[in-house]
Amino acid sequence: GAVVSQHPSRVICKSGTSVKIECRSLDFQATTMFWYRQFPKKSLMLMATSNEGSKATYEQGVEKDKFLINHASLTLSTLTVTSAHPEDSSFYICSASSLLNTEAFFGQGTRLTVV
Amino acid sequence: AQTVTQSQPEMSVQEAETVTLSCTYDTSESDYYLFWYKQPPSRQMILVIRQEAYKQQNATENRFSVNFQKAAKSFSLKISDSQLGDAAMYFCAYRGDNQGGKLIFGQGTELSVKP
């Protein structure tokens, strides 16, 4: 299957600062990327969908000013958690798909801890 | 809106035995895809098996097979000859035909394998 690389795998940041998470498709062009949030022992909750070159579509209840998503190229999408608070601590996972695939490919995930 | 339901938060199986994980879904679409993903402690999402709704034949992948009942909107996963490495969270997921890779996940089932 195709490879999606997510970086960093773990990050600790101070409350009030911003942190950027990158999601790269290494061997295919990802027309669409998805960002999920997962709490321990819980399911993946879709936060937003991003299409290359256009604004992201956020799910209901997700603050677009808090979670900035950029999908500037067909191989890279970024999620920036702005003015992070301890309640933003979570596991964030990206996935990517192309027009040629019926399945989405997942990154390794990022564990964010805000102290 | 589509929904996916996994009614078994936890399941346990003896090594070498067979276990079935349940999944039901609700949709008004006629064309869609169903998936089972495995999430081990590393939290990397791994595709286990995929089923296209237009195919009547149940998908199989080595020790993993599904029982797809389209009319009943049921999509269970059977794991045969269970191995210790099968212990993980298992998520059932739905994707509409025109959703561009967007997945709707069930709540997950935590499978433990006893030696």
- Chain B residues within 8 A of A96 when measuring between CB atoms: 101
Neighboring chain A residues of B38 at a CB cutoff of 8 Å: none
CB contact under 8 A, A43 and B107: yes
- Give the minimum alpha-carbon distance from A44 to chain B in angstroms, rounded to a whole number: 7
Q: Give the pLDDT of residue A1.
A: 67
- Give B8-59 as a 3 state SS string: CCEEEEECCCCEEECCEEECCCCCEEEEEEEECCCCCCEEEEEEECCCCCCC
- Could you give the CA distance from residue B48 to residue B57 in angstroms, rounded to a whole number? 17
Nearest to A43 among B33, B100, B106 (CB): B106
Choice among A27-31, B48-52, B58-62 with the minimum mean pLDDT? A27-31
Nearest CB neighbour to A104, from listed B101, B106, B108: B101
**Nearest CB to A32; choose among B43, B47, B101:** B101
Gap from A43 CA to chain B (nearest CA, Å): 5
Average pLDDT, chain A: 92
Phi/psi region, residue A41 (left: phi>0; alpha: psi -120 to 50; beta: rest), is left
Region B49-58: mean pLDDT is: 93
Closest-CA distance of chain B to residue A61, Å: 16
Q: Which of B107, B80, B89 is nearest to A45 (CA)?
A: B107
Q: Which of A104, A103, A91, A99 is nearest to A37 (CA)?
A: A91
pLDDT at B89: 97
Using an 8 Å Cβ cutoff, are A80 and A48 in contact? no
What is the model's pLDDT at position A54? 84
Question: If you average pLDDT over residues A88-95, what whole number do you get?
Answer: 96
Whether chain B has a CB inside 8 Å of the CB on A28: the answer is no
Query: Quick one: DSSP state of residue A75?
Result: T
